[in-house]
Structure 1
Amino acid sequence: MSTNPFTLAALATTAVPGLDVVGATEDGSDEHRSVVAAQLADGETVQVVLPRSVAALRTAQEHAAALGALTLATRSRLPFEVPTLLGTADAGRSRLFVLTRLGGATMRLADISPARLGLAESVGRAIAAIHELPTSVAADAGLPHQSAPTLRGTLLDVFDRAAATGSVPATLLQRWESALGEDRLWQFKPTLVHGDLQAPAFRIEGSAVVGVDGWHALSIGDPARDLAFLLGSSEFGSVDLAFDAHAAARGIGDRHVRQRAMLHAELDIARWLLHGVDRGDAAIVEDAKGMLAGLVARVDHDAGAAIAPARLETMDLTGVQEYLGEAEAASPEATLPGVQGSRAPSPSSEAETEVVEPLREPDDRAAGSTDGVGGSADR
């Protein structure tokens, strides 16, 4: 299929009859998705997405299912916009998706800083709003549900597999084992969770969150998972403000949510190591080993202790968390994100053709969007 924006925009009319397209621009395509912003005669802009790999199609379908679960009544309880699926259409062996396009700019983790006064609190409140939605949103739609014991068991499995590689420093094994063995950390009530929150999922205007994208992992699980990305920031004061705003907005005591968020963030590196081992990719394995060594250097003062509620100066985990999400979109077998910087370049425009290329299984190092179906790639 041509990556020419006008070709995809024209195909959008097959998914949404009557769509009056007057313009089109590239909107963050990569090797695995062609994405176009289509301007309409009424002044609105919609997003047209064509997955170009099997895994990207699966992610797009999961995103569409999650958006369907977020009814108008549910959305009215959120202080930000969520994309709406307008229509889909067959496109050879793939499928075309047309969605409303969120306004605002794509957030970077660096934006959560004193330079944007109030943004940290807005992010915390936005995440809390998701967690305050009824779990029936996911349950009624048949979306995944993880209890606290199930989630703990999943993380224990990651720990055991990582330990078996012999590549994780003893300091970290002891640290993670202590946290996983602390019963008090796992006495929490599962909530509705976004499931794959990273900074680029947020759309912001000034210091306010105006939209959230990338809902393909919507489920019932640990709210700490959605907060973990914040711990990749070096702006510790702003991170504190985000966590405090989240706690205040929820009004529910979860004293150990930050500890679990820290554990989720650190185990993302273990997942990246396992991804490299499973794929037989020595470069990924060495990448992960370097990250683990960096983490040891930053938590050495806390060696052997349980992950504490107090702030720890951990390494910047944003890159590995984002890539882990991308690796999952890029590989059917992968369970993880990957490393920022390995994102494939946007494909150049090709001559127009009505033939849709077969979906293909992608390479490791070419990454799909962490935003699911929707979202501009202002990365």
Structure 2
Amino acid sequence: MVGVNRTPMELAALASAAIPDLSPTGVVGSPDDPRDFSAAVVFDRQGSRWRVRSPLHEEAAMRLETELQVLSGFTPGIRAGLPFRVPSVAGAVRLDGMRTFVYHDMPGEEMELEDLTELGGKTPDDIGRVIAAVHALPAAVVENADLPVYTADQFRQRRLNELDQAATTGRIPAVLLRRWENALEEMELWEFSPVVAHGDLHEDNLLVDQGRLVSVTGWTDLHIGDPAEDFAWLASSGNQEFTDQVVKAYWQHRSGGTVQDGHLLRRAVLAAEFALAQWLVRGIAADDEEMAAEAEAMLQELEADVEEHGGQAISAAPAGSSSGRATVEPAAPPSVKPAVGPVAEPAAHPQDVATASTDDPADNDDTGESTDDDDAVIMDHARSPERDDTDEEPDVDQPVTHDAAADGSEDELVPDELAADEAESRQSGDADDLVEAEEPDDAEDTEVPEDAEDVGSTEVQEHAEEHGDSENDHSVRGVSGSHAAAPHQEGTPTTALDLDEVRQLDIRRSTNPS
């Protein structure tokens, strides 16, 4: 199943369908994992911002459904105890058999890895504190969502199996295969205590506001496994001093300064290098030769560093270089996000997983989906004179309440402030409700007019070109495939929308003729 790469205008229309009270006044494209999602930030009349993500293929849709399960497990109590914000789903609408999700936008903005490492101040402590808090999450968050749980040996064996699979491609240098196999066979290296791991932690999923780390996103790969995975992105930063500061802060927040895993960074470097092989395998599996070629080029670059300098240490006796460890400082692994991580399918079918754990049986069907035979259709009424200006709202299912923190912006977020926000939100009735539009029975009935981009698309394209929002302008990023940071301005959006324009390209309900 393949989705449609939707324009910002179409995503604004989808957002207005998913959130009945949402009146869009502006929209800007967001370069969020362009191989996997169409994404945009929508602005409304109340000055609020909403992030919209629409999957481009079935695997991406599964990731969003998995993230919904994870976020549903973050109860108000858990959220209040975290030193950062996590996303909350506000609504969803099904189109082409896959659901588009709308999230409350969070404070902070993404930063490039180099800029993040040069930020200084409390940044290393913030990152260490965030990773420690993730690793201290209760195991029930993972177990209740039926996500992967690995012992240390199971995790190591899984890596060995992935190595065997990667070797069959014939496109990975032998020196790297030997180097990784030697590290995986070194049992001492894998004596760690499994923790709840984010699984896709990197700079694009860390939002910074006024020099402080305030929000964490990208919860699609949560699992119980090796804590070193959440440090892999730092291993490719090339800034060892910064990495050491983060690790020191991590142990300070995790265990009062006691180092409980002496091989943490060795496994993190291994994970960063092995992500290149995972990226190659994924490209081959997807018949994406461009992706595979990018991964192969980065593997060759890593091979050259290992042969010339010995590479970064990943075992007690680094393999792959006959000359041993050189005195020249080895290069960091090419920057790549953690690739295909330990991801399992959700407990239920993607179409049924809506909110099975939180639905009220008295109000909804067992699947949490509408059983009506209606299709969600994108209609272009820009040239329909008979179209009136009445405020029509699309039909939606009964809202399903999720436990979520109130949205807002603070310079620094601490548990007490988050708890206060939660209480105020509940008292004011401003709960985060997941509202889902009805499910179409036949994807072929979904209509996207060829001229849909004509409606207000010029300004969107100009903004996209200004900020590098192009599908072809991306770097190898592992499973997420994301590239430049999304614009996160506080002022008036570049693309201003009149509400009538959104209605001209809105989500309508049409009865299935069959």
TM-score bracket, shorter-length normalisation? 0.7 to 0.9
The answer (yes or no) to whether the contact 1:69–1:137 under 8 Å persists in 2 is: yes
1:219-262 CA distance string (max 9 Å, x none): 11111111101111122211111121112211161111111111
The answer (yes or no) to whether the contact 1:80–1:211 under 8 Å persists in 2 is: yes
The answer (yes or no) to whether the contact 2:123–2:211 under 8 Å persists in 1 is: yes
* TM-score, length basis structure 1: 0.78
Shift of 1:13: 3.6
Amino acid at match of 1:268: A
- For structure 1, which runs of at least 5 residues remain unmatched after alignment? 329-349
1:321 equivalent to 2:337? Answer yes
Residue in 2 that maps onto 1:241: 245
Counterpart among 238, 255, 266 of residue 262 in structure 2: 255
Residue in 2 that maps onto 1:66: 70
Does the residue aligned with 2:201 lie in a helix, a strand or coil? coil
Give me the whole-angstrom Cα distance separating, in 1, the residues matched to 2:54 and 2:46.
24
Counterpart among 291, 295, 300 of residue 298 in structure 2: 291
CA RMSD after TM alignment = 3.8
Amino acid at match of 1:122: D
1:111 equivalent to 2:220? Answer no
* Higher-helix-fraction structure: 1
Higher Cα Rg: structure 1 or 2?
2
Structure 1 pair 12/258, CA: closer, same or farther in 2 (3 Å)?
same
Give me the whole-angstrom Cα distance separating, in 2, the residues matched to 1:172 and 1:368.
20
1:59-103 CA distance string (max 9 Å, x none): 221222221122221112221111101121223433231111122
Amino acid at match of 1:19: L
Counterpart among 152, 159, 163 of residue 155 in structure 1: 159
Give me the whole-angstrom Cα distance separating, in 1, the residues matched to 2:233 and 2:84.
19
The answer (yes or no) to whether the contact 1:369–1:377 under 8 Å persists in 2 is: no
Give me the whole-angstrom Cα distance separating, in 2, the residues matched to 1:243 and 1:351.
52
Give me the whole-angstrom Cα distance separating, in 2, the residues matched to 1:297 and 1:369.
21
Give me the whole-angstrom Cα distance separating, in 2, the residues matched to 1:34 and 1:278.
22
The answer (yes or no) to whether the contact 1:113–1:238 under 8 Å persists in 2 is: yes
Task: Number of aligned residue pairs: give it.
Answer: 350
Residue in 1 that maps onto 2:277: 270
Residue in 2 that maps onto 1:307: 315
Residue in 1 that maps onto 2:486: 377
- The equivalences for 1:351-362 within 5 A come to 352=380, 355-356=446-447
Structure 1 pair 278/47, CA: closer, same or farther in 2 (3 Å)?
closer
Amino acid at match of 2:204: P
1:255-294 CA distance string (max 9 Å, x none): 1111111111111122233345545666555544433332
Amino acid at match of 2:486: A
1:25 equivalent to 2:41? Answer no
1:298-318 CA distance string (max 9 Å, x none): 334448985259997344432
The answer (yes or no) to whether the contact 1:122–1:208 under 8 Å persists in 2 is: yes
* TM-score, length basis structure 2: 0.59
The answer (yes or no) to whether the contact 1:325–1:370 under 8 Å persists in 2 is: yes
Counterpart among 180, 197, 220 of residue 216 in structure 1: 220
Counterpart among 78, 93, 99 of residue 95 in structure 1: 99
Structure 1 pair 2/198, CA: closer, same or farther in 2 (3 Å)?
closer
Shift of 1:206: 3.4
Identity of aligned residues (%): 32
Residue in 2 that maps onto 1:200: 204
Give me the whole-angstrom Cα distance separating, in 2, the residues matched to 1:167 and 1:11.
42
The answer (yes or no) to whether the contact 1:81–1:210 under 8 Å persists in 2 is: yes
Residue in 2 that maps onto 1:173: 177
1:31-81 CA distance string (max 9 Å, x none): 643323222333221122222322222222122222112222111222111
Amino acid at match of 1:248: Q
Counterpart among 16, 19, 22 of residue 16 in structure 1: 19
The answer (yes or no) to whether the contact 2:305–2:311 under 8 Å persists in 1 is: no
Residue in 1 that maps onto 2:186: 182
| Range that drifts further, 231-240 or 297-306 | 297-306
The answer (yes or no) to whether the contact 1:231–1:314 under 8 Å persists in 2 is: no
The answer (yes or no) to whether the contact 1:256–1:309 under 8 Å persists in 2 is: no
Does the residue aligned with 2:150 lie in a helix, a strand or coil? coil
The answer (yes or no) to whether the contact 1:259–1:307 under 8 Å persists in 2 is: yes
Give me the whole-angstrom Cα distance separating, in 1, the residues matched to 2:178 and 2:5.
52
Amino acid at match of 1:12: A
Structure 1 pair 174/378, CA: closer, same or farther in 2 (3 Å)?
farther
The answer (yes or no) to whether the contact 1:202–1:212 under 8 Å persists in 2 is: yes
Give me the whole-angstrom Cα distance separating, in 1, the residues matched to 2:278 and 2:240.
25
Give me the whole-angstrom Cα distance separating, in 2, the residues matched to 1:31 and 1:303.
31
Amino acid at match of 2:201: L
| Range that drifts further, 240-249 or 155-164 | 155-164
Give me the whole-angstrom Cα distance separating, in 2, the residues matched to 1:24 and 1:273.
35
Amino acid at match of 2:250: H
Does the residue aligned with 2:117 lie in a helix, a strand or coil? coil
Give me the whole-angstrom Cα distance separating, in 2, the residues matched to 1:51 and 1:123.
29
Give me the whole-angstrom Cα distance separating, in 1, the residues matched to 2:121 and 2:62.
38
| Range that drifts further, 74-83 or 282-291 | 282-291
Structure 1 pair 368/95, CA: closer, same or farther in 2 (3 Å)?
farther
Residue in 1 that maps onto 2:366: none
Amino acid at match of 2:14: L
Give me the whole-angstrom Cα distance separating, in 2, the residues matched to 1:309 and 1:108.
33
Amino acid at match of 1:67: L
Residue in 2 that maps onto 1:341: none
Give me the whole-angstrom Cα distance separating, in 1, the residues matched to 2:141 and 2:317.
31
Give me the whole-angstrom Cα distance separating, in 1, the residues matched to 2:8 and 2:250.
40
Residue in 2 that maps onto 1:139: 143
The answer (yes or no) to whether the contact 2:42–2:52 under 8 Å persists in 1 is: yes
